[in-house]
Chains A and B, each alone.
Chain A
């Protein structure tokens, strides 16, 4: 990657020479949330492994910067340290949605440098074990019959990740997602409780949060929303695509850098992530965060980020969710 970038941009030669000599100084990982959330874990655990395995020679400090579900952090790096080579910011698919819906103000997918992903969780469509829905096709048929008749519940408001997940399924059934009977809960746990209590019929959750109930046979998964089947306890669960419904929902977690992060530093961090992903102890550490393998870094990843944000923006427009015209 380094080499290709170097060939593509001969004018940057001197900069790249420094690039190979880039050493992070007091590097910092910004988690745009209070301690305890997904962003916080992305920072704390990844940076710990990076230091323990000597991928990055100095410790990386984790800095919590909650506010506006990430808006404060993206504003901060754009306004105050757009060139800082020593700062990483944790993001997830939720950040892409926020960009698409204009929640980060004027800042969008082109106002950061996408460094890479460390892994991904995947959406699942869960129903109670005794539900009449046995396959995704059953749910699609029910949506077609009357999309407002199926109570769906999950964490987050209309327009949030979990809502978008099931909205894509409703759209695949040819229905208007806004007509869904959607019930927002405070966190996936409360939604799971409502599913087990029979108050909602469908819970579009994440693979990492349904394992316990799946093992105990209390719920059934109609589909996993990944490109391929997931390993382990999910091996028997077909993907949505296998069932003829062309939707995917990876919850990618990773890092971005400031918009004008020097190439030297950018390449350094891209390489650090690549070495992290190649490290033999990484899969175990990643699994502990509830993440599946999703190795993509550098320009390839930046392209994916831009493509996804564009898709979500289109969806948001279709269902009238955009806050600020972009």
Chain B
């Protein structure tokens, strides 16, 4: 009951006209940021923050705006992933697997619509969970130890074989390559430089954005050049619009993805990439008999996008209830509070209810706005494909490069992206899947960091990795995921 009163107070804040307007602006900016592969919500929020201060926005309004940019970006990443096979953000990588085949079948519009609905469902269910369970959930989340993270990430990695298309060995090899790329830079444990070849630019490691733009965007363009642009824009028409029964068909997948996304999102340091990978592979495994995953299954786009948005909201749980950022972006949001002389922490809900509850209420409103914005726009987005490929792809590439350069100011990064582009092009020709490279890259770094944490905590005692019930369950699932394909093979 108390919660309802507090939430009501939050709505009183969030429904003020200027706050509605700011949430709306944030949603639009966020979607745009998500569409562009070069720039992420973290950069956008950091750049908007000084404007909030200069405009003397009250803290709750600033946070409503900045948070809307954050969760709005979760809606944008899918658009280029589906239509152009270029993920706009890390967590949209999985969306390319079925999204792009759908677009090629002329069902790009349907894929956009179902992911819009999925994003809304994932985000809204997460906000509801956050409203009522924030504090106890955050307590549980901090109890998750480095050893538990190791098991969780190992489980996510064990599913790599499932995202590689036809050849599991190629998927594994690609995943290992991703892990190797993640090793470049200063080693987190000892401070020693690894594989930097004396280059300053590589000290901080390879940025995910660079790898993704290279492998996907540039690789795709090189392939187009090679085929002399004959591969014209995929037939947009002829594909069926999304039907109501298809939405119903995807609902169970979305509900599962919402819970996976939210739970993973609440854990500080896991994040949306892990969530979308887990939910995609879960759906694929659950529906092996009746699915056509990898060739354009609607559930294959709905699940990762739903989980992505659910995880983003989940990420805000430790931020609001404990004052602990769960990701880089929430760390910047926390920094914004600090700049308003508000101490983010466990007392935020008591000391500044208008900020905490105003933000939560605004997320209900913002997600409705995003759904209403996104559904009618599906047609317009899909029409992107009627733009001739020789205009469209270089245009997207130019925007990505501009984004990368604006953030990093480094020509080296652009050259690196081109290098990865050539790699991506060669790999496409050799049928080596790209998604496992990305997942290996993201998960490999997390796995190493957490493994070292677990090992230094236990003093090198390996048994510490299976010391908790959570880790034991996750390891058993990992083992099952690795062994399962072989068992199936025997039966078949």
Q: Does B78 contact A (CB under 8 A)?
A: no
Known contacts A157-B189, A186-B269; decide if A193 and B346 are in contact (CB<8 Å).
no
Minimal beta-carbon separation of A72 from chain B (angstroms)? 5
> How would residues 290 to 303 of chain B score, 1 for a CB under 8 Å from any chain A CB and 0 otherwise?
00000000000000
Q: Which of B386-429 contact A (CB under 8 A)?
A: 407-410, 412
Residues from chain B with Cβ under 8 Å of A65 in the complex: 409-410
- Check B54–A200 contact: CB distance below 8 A: no
Residues from chain B with Cβ under 8 Å of A196 in the complex: 142, 322, 324
Minimal beta-carbon separation of A292 from chain B (angstroms)? 13
Q: Which of B200, B341, B346 contacts A72 (CB 8 A)?
A: B200
- Check B340–A66 contact: CB distance below 8 A: no
Q: Does A12 contact B (CB under 8 A)?
A: no
- Check A75–B200 contact: CB distance below 8 A: yes
Residues from chain B with Cβ under 8 Å of A212 in the complex: 323, 343-348
Known contacts A44-B50, A183-B146, A216-B345; decide if A68 and B338 are in contact (CB<8 Å).
no
Known contacts A151-B457, A196-B142, A288-B339; decide if A67 and B186 are in contact (CB<8 Å).
no
Known contacts A159-B191, A187-B325, A196-B142; decide if A66 and B42 are in contact (CB<8 Å).
no
**Chain A interface helix/strand/loop/mixed:** mixed
Q: Which of B143, B204, B452 contacts A184 (CB 8 A)?
A: B452
Residues from chain A with Cβ under 8 Å of B190 in the complex: 157-159
Q: Does B100 contact A (CB under 8 A)?
A: no
Known contacts A35-B407, A321-B191; decide if A72 and B347 are in contact (CB<8 Å).
no
Residues from chain B with Cβ under 8 Å of A40 in the complex: 46
Residues from chain A with Cβ under 8 Å of B187 in the complex: 157
Q: Which of A189, A193, A288 contacts B334 (CB 8 A)?
A: A189
* Distance, CA A211 to CA B459, complexed state (A): 31
Q: Which of A30-81 contact B (CB under 8 A)?
A: 34-36, 40-41, 44-45, 48, 63-69, 71-72, 75
- Check B453–A105 contact: CB distance below 8 A: no
- Check B323–A45 contact: CB distance below 8 A: no
Minimal beta-carbon separation of A149 from chain B (angstroms)? 9
* Distance, CA A197 to CA B340, complexed state (A): 28
- Check A71–B268 contact: CB distance below 8 A: no
- Check B341–A181 contact: CB distance below 8 A: no
Q: Which of B269, B334, B412 contacts A190 (CB 8 A)?
A: B269
- Check A68–B324 contact: CB distance below 8 A: no
- Check B410–A67 contact: CB distance below 8 A: yes
Closest chain B residue to A196, Cβ basis? B142
* Distance, CA A69 to CA B201, complexed state (A): 9
Q: Does A199 contact B (CB under 8 A)?
A: yes
Q: Does B328 contact A (CB under 8 A)?
A: yes
Q: Does A218 contact B (CB under 8 A)?
A: yes
> How would residues 175 to 189 of chain A score, 1 for a CB under 8 Å from any chain B CB and 0 otherwise?
000000111111101
> How would residues 41 to 64 of chain B score, 1 for a CB under 8 Å from any chain A CB and 0 otherwise?
011011100100110000000000
> How would residues 86 to 109 of chain A score, 1 for a CB under 8 Å from any chain B CB and 0 otherwise?
000000000000000101010000
Residues from chain A with Cβ under 8 Å of B318 in the complex: 193
Known contacts A75-B200, A103-B203, A321-B191; decide if A63 and B409 are in contact (CB<8 Å).
yes
Residues from chain B with Cβ under 8 Å of A66 in the complex: 204, 407-410
Residues from chain A with Cβ under 8 Å of B452 in the complex: 183-184
- Check A213–B346 contact: CB distance below 8 A: yes
- Check B324–A192 contact: CB distance below 8 A: yes
* Distance, CA A99 to CA B143, complexed state (A): 38
Residues from chain A with Cβ under 8 Å of B410 in the complex: 65-67, 72
Minimal beta-carbon separation of B408 from chain A (angstroms)? 5
Q: Does B456 contact A (CB under 8 A)?
A: yes
Residues from chain B with Cβ under 8 Å of A67 in the complex: 200-201, 203-204, 408, 410, 412
Q: Which of A224-279 contact B (CB under 8 A)?
A: none
- Check A35–B449 contact: CB distance below 8 A: no
Residues from chain B with Cβ under 8 Å of A288 in the complex: 338-341
- Check A213–B345 contact: CB distance below 8 A: yes
Q: Does B369 contact A (CB under 8 A)?
A: no
Q: Does A174 contact B (CB under 8 A)?
A: no
Q: Does A307 contact B (CB under 8 A)?
A: no
Q: Does A289 contact B (CB under 8 A)?
A: yes
* Distance, CA A184 to CA B189, complexed state (A): 6
* Distance, CA A64 to CA B146, complexed state (A): 33
Residues from chain B with Cβ under 8 Å of A148 in the complex: 459
Q: Which of B451-471 contact A (CB under 8 A)?
A: 452-453, 456-457, 459
- Check B201–A197 contact: CB distance below 8 A: no
- Check A215–B144 contact: CB distance below 8 A: no
Residues from chain B with Cβ under 8 Å of A193 in the complex: 141-142, 268-269, 318, 322, 324
Closest chain B residue to A160, Cβ basis? B191
Q: Does B188 contact A (CB under 8 A)?
A: yes
* Distance, CA A6 to CA B148, complexed state (A): 64
Residues from chain B with Cβ under 8 Å of A41 in the complex: 335
- Check B346–A218 contact: CB distance below 8 A: yes
Tell me which of A41, A101, A182 has the highest count of chain B C-beta atoms within 10 A of its own C-beta.
Answer: A41
Minimal beta-carbon separation of A210 from chain B (angstroms)? 9
- Check B459–A72 contact: CB distance below 8 A: no
Residues from chain B with Cβ under 8 Å of A214 in the complex: 345
* Distance, CA A321 to CA B190, complexed state (A): 9
Q: Does B442 contact A (CB under 8 A)?
A: no
Q: Which of A256-315 contact B (CB under 8 A)?
A: 287-290
Minimal beta-carbon separation of A34 from chain B (angstroms)? 6
Minimal beta-carbon separation of A41 from chain B (angstroms)? 7
* Distance, CA A64 to CA B345, complexed state (A): 30
* Distance, CA A321 to CA B191, complexed state (A): 8
Tell me which of A63, A69, A75, A215 has the highest count of chain B C-beta atoms within 10 A of its own C-beta.
Answer: A215
Known contacts A183-B456, A189-B331; decide if A64 and B407 are in contact (CB<8 Å).
yes
- Check B142–A197 contact: CB distance below 8 A: yes
- Check A158–B189 contact: CB distance below 8 A: yes
* Distance, CA A44 to CA B409, complexed state (A): 16
Tell me which of A105, A148, A159, A184 has the highest count of chain B C-beta atoms within 10 A of its own C-beta.
Answer: A184
Q: Does B105 contact A (CB under 8 A)?
A: no
Q: Which of B42, B143, B186, B339 contacts A157 (CB 8 A)?
A: B186
Residues from chain B with Cβ under 8 Å of A45 in the complex: 50, 53, 339
Q: Does B332 contact A (CB under 8 A)?
A: yes
Closest chain A residue to B187, Cβ basis? A157
Residues from chain B with Cβ under 8 Å of A186 in the complex: 188, 269, 449
Minimal beta-carbon separation of A128 from chain B (angstroms)? 11
Closest chain A residue to B406, Cβ basis? A64
Q: Does A135 contact B (CB under 8 A)?
A: no
Known contacts A189-B331, A212-B323, A289-B339; decide if A69 and B204 are in contact (CB<8 Å).
yes
Known contacts A64-B407, A193-B268, A193-B322; decide if A184 and B188 are in contact (CB<8 Å).
yes
Closest chain B residue to A217, Cβ basis? B346
Q: Does B145 contact A (CB under 8 A)?
A: yes
Q: Does A208 contact B (CB under 8 A)?
A: yes
Sampled A-B contacts (15; CB under 8 Å): A36-B42, A40-B46, A45-B339, A48-B54, A64-B409, A67-B203, A67-B412, A158-B189, A158-B191, A184-B188, A187-B328, A189-B334, A197-B143, A212-B344, A212-B348
Q: What are the 6 tightest A-B residue pairs by CB atom distance, in nearest-first order?
A: A212-B345, A36-B46, A35-B46, A212-B323, A68-B200, A197-B142
| Given A187-B328, A190-B324, A193-B268; 18 other pairs, CB 8 A cutoff | A35-B43, A66-B409, A67-B201, A67-B203, A67-B410, A68-B200, A71-B200, A72-B201, A105-B200, A151-B457, A158-B191, A183-B457, A189-B268, A196-B324, A211-B345, A216-B346, A290-B338, A323-B193
